[in-house]
Amino acid sequence: MKILNNAIDAIGNDGSITIQTSIKQDRLCIEFADSGPGLPPEHLQKIFDPFFTTKRPDKGTGLGLSISRSIMQRLGGDILAENGKQGGCIFTVSLPAAVGAGFPLSSTPLKGKPAQG
């Protein structure tokens, strides 16, 4: 959601946002590519820092990406940012494919004796 908000801010009135999902090995990846101006190389490392923003104080707090990335990391995932070959930004959210997919439940042996009869 925060990534989409940023993309909407970046693309102006006639831009585009493309969302692609894929499974890479044991990870679920969601890629958000926008047609905005992209990120200056010196900002690429800073955009996940708390309170880093290039927006006006009434427009951005600089917390969106920092909080989103720490949530994803706590779930065993991550968020990566890069510039697209055709311009614009690409944000990739990745999560372990097994999170919430029932893996621990379905692999837990049932306890107790089977019913007699």
Ligand X SMILES: Nc1ncnc2c1ncn2[C@@H]1O[C@H](COP(=O)(O)OP(=O)(O)OP(=O)(O)O)[C@@H](O)[C@H]1O
Residues of the shown chain interacting with ligand X in the complex, contacts defined by CB under 6 A: 2, 6-7, 10, 34, 36, 39, 47, 52-55, 60-66, 89
Which residues have CB under 8 Å from 31's CB, separation 6+? Answer: 18, 19, 20, 21, 22, 90, 91, 92, 93
Q: What angle do CA 36, 84, 34 make, to 5 degrees?
A: 35
Stretch that binds Mg ion, among 18-26, 63-71, 78-86, 109-117 (CB under 5 A): 63-71
Residue selected from 36, 38, 64, 77 as contacting Mg ion according to rule CB under 5 A = 64
Q: Looking at this protein, which amino acid is placed at residue 115? A: A
Q: Please, are residues 69 and 95 in contact by the beta-carbon 8 Å criterion?
A: no
Q: Please, are residues 72 and 95 in contact by the beta-carbon 8 Å criterion?
A: yes
Q: Please, are residues 28 and 97 in contact by the beta-carbon 8 Å criterion?
A: yes
54 binding partner (options ligand X, Mg ion, none; Cβ < 5 to 8 Å by kind) = ligand X
Whose tokens are 């090995």? That residue is 25
Give least dist CB 60 to ligand X, A: 3
90 binding partner (options ligand X, Mg ion, none; Cβ < 5 to 8 Å by kind) = none
Nearer to Mg ion, 6 or 35 (CB): 6
- Judged by CB under 5 A, how many residues of this single chain contact Mg ion? 2
24 binding partner (options ligand X, Mg ion, none; Cβ < 5 to 8 Å by kind) = none
* Site residues, Mg ion (CB under 5 A): 6, 64
